[in-house]
Amino acid sequence: MDTGLAGKVVVVTGATANIGRGIALAFAAEGARVVVVGRDEQAGPRVVERAREQGAAEALWHAADVTVEDRVAGLVEAVLARFGRIDVLVNNVGGSGDFGPFVSTTPAQWRADLDMTVLSTLLCTHAVLPHMLEQGGGRIVNIGSMAAIIGDPQLAVYSAAKGAVHSFTRVLALELGKTGITVNAVAPYGTRPRDPQEEFSAGSRYHPESGLFSKALRERPEQLHTIGRPTALPRQQAYSDEIGAAAVYLASEQAAFVTGQVLQVDGGVALV
């Protein structure tokens, strides 16, 4: 299937590990020009090298904290200076600094989680949109979560933040419907890397030493296990490349008539 993505300029935020890495490499395999965005100066170049091996027409590493407005502006300026356009924006940055009952969390934690998941999506989209409008089209793919649909226990603010991403996706799709820009989201459930030793970065939940889930598995496994839910399939988690495949579809020519949708890649967890 020809996705029409060869040579397209694709910006993927949070692309140094897990879902973001899987998405960047999926676009690379389609021959796209991939911009790998993240904060880990060691992991980023590794992903760029892998993207080139996968078949990217070009691959560029750009270090940026996309919760900071001027860093986002600098990112967009750098991509336009290099390529002259942005065809696809994948807003992948998001997450939670910790998990636990809402009553034990703090406003500082809420703000950090909302900045990471919602503010990053708003800032990147707002910076890229004028250029997509000027060029007469584009694709925006937001990474939401099944937590926004079924709720994840002990991740109340994260679930709420991903719900905001889903709502933003639908409203923006309606606003941009006549412009040639489509806006969709992918809602993964319990995604993990196929090879955690290769696919982590300094900020990854799966970093073997500092990652949120890795530390929780060592220090409070009983609490961690309350988050998980059974799926309808034998496997309980998606792999990052499967989320990449969904993002590629939504950005492809085959999805030109798809907008405002939240594509669930969840193993049927909502059915159980």
Please, are residues 196 and 237 in contact by the beta-carbon 8 Å criterion? no
How many Å apart are CA 140 and CA 10, to the nearest integer? 10
Where helices occur in the chain by DSSP H, the ranges are 18-29, 43-54, 69-83, 107-114, 120-135, 147-150, 156-175, 212-219, 221-225, 240-251
Which residue of the set 158, 206, 239, 249 is catalytic? 158
Residue identified by tokens 């982590």 is 200
Give dist(CA 144, CA 271) in Å, integer: 18
How distant, in Å, are the alpha carbons of 93, 105, 134, 180, 250 from that of 109? Answer: 16, 7, 38, 38, 32
| Half-sphere exposure at residue 78, Cβ-oriented, CA atoms within 13 angstroms | 15
Does the active-site annotation cover 158? yes
* 188/146 Cα distance (integer angstroms): 6
Catalytic residue positions? 158
